[in-house]
């Protein structure tokens, strides 16, 4: 792989944006690899967490925003807790996800279905309704019977309930509509600036 940096990449712009989105300074990282060493999701990742930081330091935004890694991070914060330099790696992953969404980059994992399902359930009831959410996730991911055999056992053990709880669903719906509008406006702005 040839890394082309210099005039082609503006290090500061990407670094500043990432710092704003993640709330952490990636320049602190000295590449000890402790985040990679303890990452429980590393087996699913194409680029290791420490490499995400390294590529970000080099300003290679295409590489990091199009990686699987940022979508497979489960936010367990093992990395952020252990980082000797106080880099919030989890925050970086979160920030990169948001930056990817803002650029209309399609997520590289099924997480996106889960997030969609989560949002629509919240939109409906104002609270989580797990059977509905799982159902919608299965519909979206086109795996209709995924985990269905587990359902009766979970019901029996009271890990899942069929009862619907709603709470201030209307207000949450208004909130989400407004958030959607803001996001659309922002997306237009970024497209306009391009």
Q: How far is CA 139 from the centre of its chain?
A: 21
Instruction: Give the total of residues touching another protein (CB under 8 A).
Output: 20
CA 170, CA 31: separation in Å to the nearest integer?
48
Q: Does 74 bind another protein (CB under 8 A)?
A: no
Report CA torsion sign: 179, 185, 186, 187.
positive
Binding track over 80-119 against another protein, x by CB under 8 A: --xxxxx---------------------------------
CB of 80 to another protein, least distance (A): 10
> Which two three-digit tokens encode residue 57?
């330091």
Binding track over 9-48 against another protein, x by CB under 8 A: ---------------------xxxxx-xxxx--x----xx
CB-wise, 38 or 132, nearer to another protein?
A: 38
CB of 35 to another protein, least distance (A): 8
Tell me the backbone φ, ψ of residue 61, rounded to 5 degrees.
-70, -35
Angle, alpha carbons 164-148-116 (nearest 5°): 60
Binds another protein (CB under 8 A): choice among 22, 51, 56, 69: 51
- Count the Cβ atoms, other than its own, within 10 Å of residue 1: 3
CB-wise, 43 or 193, nearer to another protein?
A: 43
Nearest to 84 by CA among 50, 118, 116, 46: 50
CA 178, CA 7: separation in Å to the nearest integer?
40
CB-wise, 36 or 56, nearer to another protein?
A: 36
CB of 37 to another protein, least distance (A): 3
CA 79, CA 85: separation in Å to the nearest integer?
11
CB under 8 Å to 74, separation ≥6 — which residues? 40, 41
CB of 74 to another protein, least distance (A): 16
CB-wise, 23 or 84, nearer to another protein?
A: 84
CB-wise, 76 or 128, nearer to another protein?
A: 76
Contact residues for another protein, defined by CB under 8 A: 30-34, 36-39, 42, 47-48, 50-51, 78, 82-86
């Amino acid at each position: 792989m040839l890394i082309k940096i210099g005039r082609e990449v503006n290090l500061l712009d990407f670094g500043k944006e990432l710092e704003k989105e993640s709330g952490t300074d990636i320049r602190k990282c000295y590449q000890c690899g402790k985040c990679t060493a303890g990452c429980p999701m590393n087996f699913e990742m194409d680029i290791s967490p420490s490499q995400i930081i390294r590529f970000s330091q080099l300003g290679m935004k295409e590489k990091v925003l199009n990686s699987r890694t940022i979508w497979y991070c489960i936010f367990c914060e093992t990395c952020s807790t252990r980082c000797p330099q106080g880099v919030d790696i989890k925050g970086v992953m979160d920030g990169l996800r948001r930056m990817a969404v803002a650029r209309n980059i399609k997520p590289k994992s099924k997480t996106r279905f889960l997030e969609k399902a989560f949002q629509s359930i919240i939109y409906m009831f104002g609270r989580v309704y797990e059977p509905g959410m799982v159902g919608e996730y299965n519909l979206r991911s086109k795996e209709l019977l995924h985990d269905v055999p587990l359902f009766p056992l979970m019901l029996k053990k009271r890990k899942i309930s069929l009862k619907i709880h709603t709470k201030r669903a209307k207000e949450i719906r208004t909130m989400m509509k407004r958030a959607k509008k803001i996001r659309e406006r922002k997306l237009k702005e970024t497209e306009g600036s391009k």
